[in-house]
Every structure is written in C-alpha cells, then in structure tokens.
C-alpha cells in the first residue's frame, strides 16, 4: 500500500506498471480496502473490540488487569452511587437486608435476656454485691450483671477456614476436673463444617442462614461466621448471648488482619499463629457452679435471715395486736356488765380506745375496771349521765335522797333554852321516821350508818354556858328521837362549836337558825 501514492502521481507514465499491479494484486485489493475501512472507521473498530473483549479479559486474568481496572471500577461505583443510589441499594439489599435484620434480632434478643436477668436480680443480695463491685471497679453495673449472672466457661476455640473446613488455629483453656475432652481438633473442625453443610442441605430455605449454636447437654458450640472463616467455641454451661458477640468481634478483627491470607489460603496454617491472642480472648467464663454453692455464710445468713426476721417480726406484731385487741374486748365486756354503765359504741384509733355510752353517776369508775396491761391514758370515755334502774343503784339513790332530807332538818330553840318547843313535835316524828327509813335503806345495801345530832347556840352569852347549852340541846333531841323509836346506837349527840363565824354578826331573827340542833349522816358517801 505504500506504493499507492506514487502510482497515482505517475498515472500516465506508469500505465503498464499500474496494469501489472492490478493484475498481480487485483484479488487482494478489495480485502485491503475493506481492512483500511475497518481501521479508519472508529465505530467499526469498537464493534470489533466488543466482539473479543470478554474473551480478552478472561485470558488476561492476572494482577495487572485487576490493578488497571480497580480505579475505574471504584470511580464507576462512586458515580453510580452519586447519580442513582437506589440502584445499588436495591442490588445490595438481598445481602445486607438479611444481615442487618439478623444483627438487630440478635441484639434485641441479647438485650431482652439481659433485661430480664437484671429485673430478676434487682432486689437480691447479689445485686447489692454487684453494685458494690461496680462502684469499686468503676465498671457499669449492667456489665457486672452480665458478667456475673451466667455460669459458663469457654473451653476451646477453633478458627476454621470456611471453605475447606480446615483448622487454622486452635486454643484451649487449661483443663479442669470434669471437663469434656475434645478429641482431634483437626477432625472436629472438619466435622463442624460438614454438619453445617448437612444442615444447609437438610433445611430448605436455610441456604443463606448459618448454624448459630449446637447444644449437647451441658456443653454447647457457639459459632460466629465471617466471609472466609468461622470461629467456633466449645462452651460448658449456659452461654450468654453476648458470647457470640465476643466471638464475632474476634473473628472480625482476624478477618480484617488476615483478609489476604484467608482468601488465598492453600493449607499453610502457620500464617495464623499470630491470631492466637484474639482467640485466647474468647476463652472467657464466669462463676463456676461450686463457687456459687459455697457462698459466704454472711451472705446466706442475710439472704435467709432477713426474711426470717421479717416474718418473725410480722408474726410477733400480729400476736401482740391480737392480745391487745383481746384485752380491749374484755374491758368492753366488763364495762357492759357493770351496773349503771351502758355502752353505745367502741372504737380503736391507733393505740387509743374510745368508748361512748351512758353512765349512772353512782356506777363504778370505769377507769378502775381497766385490766393490767392497758394504760388509762390510752382510753377516752364519752359518757352521757343517766339514772339506772338497777336495784342496788336505786337503793343508793334513795339513801342519798334520805340523807339529804335528814340533813336539811333542824330543831329551833328559844334563847338560853334546851327544851324542844312543843310545836316542833311533828318535826320529831318526821325526822324519826326518815332516820328509820335511812337505816332500812342502808341495811339493804349492807351498810352501817350513824347520825350525828349536832347542838348549836347563838353568840349571845358566856362560852361555857353556851357550850353546855349546845350539848344539852343535842342530847335532848337524841333522847326525843330514841323515845320516838329510833335505835339508840344510831344516834350520837355532839355540841357543834364552830358557829362563831356563821352566827357572829347576825340579826336577831337570823340568830334563830343558830339556836338549833341539826343532823349529819355518817357512813353514806
């Protein structure tokens, strides 16, 4: 083709040469033209490259191509997110949506578990200990609760290559009595992976789910998954949900550090020796059963002693209240049975006992009826007075009336005389019969009475004379009453020498009262 230009310029001179060329190259010329057209036309060239691009990329599947494509892909993704984030979100949703849902569920589960435990233990002796521990160590209380509330121990931790099931690393806690022995970790690791496959195959719809935990009696396996590796822990006891978080965190850190080694893993496990610290951090555990059983005596004493004391105190208080109540009831009964007392209402107000009712003034003093153990300051009486018809009280009242009657009477005398005035004879009969009735009433009540006959005088005259005069007046009235029929032992005659003030400065007509003999009944309250 380079000969094409000169051929045109010398078209007239080189006619034979051109003809020769046409003869020689004639059949190829069309192909050349076609080729030139393909090369010069960009759209044709693009079509050609498009035809082989996929094959070319497949052939060149080495690092160089990947490196060359990396920035392009990154920029393309960035552009895509900027222009239409929805598309990428939709594309990624099947992967992330599930993972996010699972993460939220597990987080909620964990929270609920912790919450319920916290509630259970809010008011226990242990919670007091934990609060103290939290205060002392500066750790949040919630963390202490989670740490202390579950009894478990991670005995072995496996780091497993997810694809091949090969064991990358294995750490074990120092063996303890009664610990289940795990056989060949290599094979256990493989079998765990196989079981995982088995579950996937057996449960339809679980292809993208993972086996989170396996339990056999007291021991269980807790698993955490990453894109290229699995962390599996053999746990003795009840594993808290937080444990899978611990595993997941360890695994995430390993996956970050060893991403390349994990992806290209071809059987050399020495690269993962440096992961031992992360795995050892998973060998956690809390509170062995023996420790819990032992417990301190003080704790137990407080734990069981306090409620027992409380129960005793309640029982004691109850018994005491019953006894006091009983005493008050007895007291109320005694009041009710007491003549001259009628209860209308009783009431307990705290320690006070309130009584409402009717009371005859002659009835016994209610406070004197209080039994031992009840203080009179604790009782409050509200009485209405009334007259009882109980015979004893009626007799008492009669006695009091008669006494009053008798004591109102007085015999008047003339100045200087001790003779009973004849027109007062009727008074003698009256007083005599009243004294006899009084004596009778006293006998009914079982009482003995006496009546003092008191002789008085006015201030006029000498003292000696007056004194003798008063005695004679009393004696005369006494004798007259005995003559009327009053038994003599009932009557005592005495001069009453205390009228100086009463009768000292009286007018003549008033002095009459002072020249008298009066009565005082003894033995009647």
Partner 1 sequence: MLKKKICMVGEFGVGKTSLVRRFVHSIFSERYLTTVGVKIDRKDVTIGSASVTLMLWDLAGEDELTQLNVSHLRGASGYILVVDGCRASSLKKAVELQQRIAERLGPLPFVLVLNKVDLRDKWEVQSAAVSEYGWPTFETSAKAGSGVEEMFLALAGSLLSANSAAEDPAE
Least distance from partner 1 to the Cβ atom of residue 295, Å: 40
Question: Closer CB to partner 1, residue 168 or residue 246?
Answer: 168
**Residue closer to partner 1, measured from CB, 263 or 333:** 263
Which of 156, 154, 153, 167 is CA-nearest to residue 230? 167
Does residue 484 sit in helix, strand or coil?
helix
Give the Cβ contact number of residue 86 at 10 Å.
Answer: 9
CA distances from residue 344 to 52, 142, 349, 374, 465 in whole angstroms, order as listed: 118, 62, 17, 21, 62
Non-local (6+) Cβ contacts of 170 within 8 A are: 156, 157, 158, 159, 185, 189, 279
Q: Which helix (H) or strand (E) holds 108?
A: helix 85-120
Give the integer Cα–Cα distance in Å for 280 and 317: 58
Could you list the residues that contact partner 1 (CB under 8 A)?
A: 62-64, 161-167, 183-184, 186-187, 190-191, 194-195, 197-198, 200-201, 266-270
C-beta of 162 vs 403, nearer to partner 1: 162
C-alpha–C-alpha distance, residues 520 and 256, integer Å:
123
Nearer to partner 1, 171 or 362 (CB): 171
What is residue 330's three-state secondary structure?
A: helix
> How far does Cα 214 stand from its chain's mean position?
38
Q: Of 181 and 385, which CB lies nearer to partner 1 in the complex structure?
A: 181
Shortest distance, CB of residue 187 to partner 1, whole angstroms?
5
CB of 223 to partner 1, least distance (A): 17
How far apart are CB 277 and partner 1 at their closest, in Å? 19
Q: 220 with 214: CB under 8 angstroms? A: yes
Could you tell me whether strands 219-225 and 229-237 are parallel, antiparallel, or unpaired per DSSP bridges? antiparallel
User: Could you give phi then psi for residue 453, rounded to 5 degrees?
Assistant: -105, 115
14-44 burial code (b ≥16 CB/10 A, e <16): eeeeeeeeeeeeeeeeeeeeeeeeeeeeeee
Please give the Cα distance from 225 to 232 (Å, whole number).
Answer: 9
Least distance from C-beta 122 to partner 1, angstroms?
46
DSSP per-residue string spanning 22-34: HHHHHHHHHHHHH
Task: State which residue, 120 or 268, has the beta carbon closest to partner 1.
Answer: 268
Residue 169 vs 434, nearer CB to partner 1:
169
Closest-CA residue to 142 (of 156, 158, 154, 130): 130
C-alpha–C-alpha distance, residues 337 and 364, integer Å: 11
Min CB(271)–partner 1 separation in Å: 11
Q: Least Å distance between CB 163 and partner 1? A: 3
User: What span, in angstroms and rounded, lies between the C-alpha atoms of 324 and 308?
Assistant: 24
Q: Measured from the CB of residue 105, what is the shortest distance to partner 1 in angstroms?
A: 26
| Least spacing, CB of residue 176 vs partner 1, in Å | 22
Question: Cβ of residue 309: shortest distance to partner 1, in angstroms?
Answer: 58
Tell me the closest approach of the beta carbon of residue 162 to partner 1, in angstroms: 8
Comparison of 201 and 365: residue with beta carbon closer to partner 1: 201
Counting Cα atoms < 13 Å in the Cβ hemisphere of 202 gives: 8
Q: In the complex with partner 1, which residue's Cβ is closer, 156 or 439?
A: 156
Q: How many CB atoms lie within 10 A of CB 73?
A: 10
228 or 499: CB nearest partner 1: 228
* CA distances, 493 to each of 218, 406, 465, 483, 485 (Å): 113, 15, 17, 15, 16
Identify which of residues 266 and 464 has a Cβ nearer to partner 1 in the complex.
Answer: 266
3-state SS assignment for residue 375:
coil
CA end-to-end span of the chain? 167
Closest distance between partner 1 and the C-beta of residue 59, in Å?
Answer: 14
For partner 1, the closer CB: 190 or 459:
190
């Amino acid at each position: 083709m380079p000969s094409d230009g000169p051929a045109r310029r010398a078209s007239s001179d080189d006619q034979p040469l051109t003809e020769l060329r046409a003869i020689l190259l004639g059949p190829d010329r069309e192909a050349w033209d076609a080729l030139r057209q393909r090369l010069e036309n960009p759209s044709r060239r693009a079509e050609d490259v498009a035809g082989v691009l996929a094959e070319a990329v497949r052939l060149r599947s080495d690092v160089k191509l990947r490196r060359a494509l990396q920035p392009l892909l990154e920029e393309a993704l960035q552009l895509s997110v900027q222009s239409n984030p929805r598309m990428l979100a939709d594309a990624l949703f099947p992967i992330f949506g599930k993972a996010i849902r699972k993460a939220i569920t597990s987080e909620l589960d964990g929270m609920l578990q912790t919450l319920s435990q916290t509630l259970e233990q809010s008011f226990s002796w242990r919670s007091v200990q934990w609060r103290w521990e939290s205060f002392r160590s500066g750790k949040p209380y919630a963390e202490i609760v989670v740490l202390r509330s579950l009894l478990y121990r991670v005995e072995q931790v496996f780091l497993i290559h997810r694809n091949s099931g090969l064991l990358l690393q294995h750490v074990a806690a120092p063996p303890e009595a009664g610990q289940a022995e795990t056989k060949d970790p290599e094979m256990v690791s493989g079998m765990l992976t196989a079981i995982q496959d088995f579950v996937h195959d057996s449960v339809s719809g679980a292809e993208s789910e993972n086996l989170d935990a396996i339990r056999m009696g007291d021991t269980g396996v807790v698993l955490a998954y990453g894109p290229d590796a699995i962390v599996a822990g053999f746990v003795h006891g009840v594993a808290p949900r937080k444990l899978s978080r611990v595993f997941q965190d360890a695994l995430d850190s390993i996956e970050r550090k060893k991403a390349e080694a994990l992806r290209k893993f071809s059987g050399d496990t020495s690269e993962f020796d440096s992961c031992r610290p992360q795995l050892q951090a998973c060998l956690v555990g809390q509170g062995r059963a023996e420790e819990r059983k032992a417990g301190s005596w003080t704790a137990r004493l407080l734990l069981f002693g306090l409620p027992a004391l409380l129960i005793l105190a309640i029982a004691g208080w109850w018994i005491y209240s019953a006894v006091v109540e009983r005493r008050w009831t007895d007291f109320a009964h005694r009041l009710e049975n007491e003549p001259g007392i009628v209860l209308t209402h009783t009431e307990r107000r705290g320690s006070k006992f309130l009584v409402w009712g009717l009371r005859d003034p002659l009835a016994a003093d209610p406070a004197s009826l209080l039994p031992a153990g009840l203080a009179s300051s604790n009782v409050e009486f509200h009485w209405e007075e009334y007259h009882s018809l109980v015979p004893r009280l009626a007799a008492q009242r009669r006695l009091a009336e008669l006494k009053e009657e008798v004591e109102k009477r007085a015999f008047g005398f003339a100045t200087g005389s001790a003779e009973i005035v004849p027109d007062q004879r009727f008074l003698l009969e009256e007083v005599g019969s009243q004294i006899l009735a009084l004596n009778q009433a006293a006998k009914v009540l079982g009482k003995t009475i006496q009546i003092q006959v008191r002789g008085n005088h006015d201030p006029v005259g000498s003292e000696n004379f007056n004194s003798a005069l008063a005695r004679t007046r009393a004696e005369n009235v006494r004798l007259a009453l005995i003559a009327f029929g009053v038994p003599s032992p009932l009557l005592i005659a005495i001069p009453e020498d205390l009228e100086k003030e009463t009768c000292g400065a009286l007018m003549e007509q008033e002095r009459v009262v002072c020249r008298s003999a009066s009565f005082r009944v003894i033995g009647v309250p």
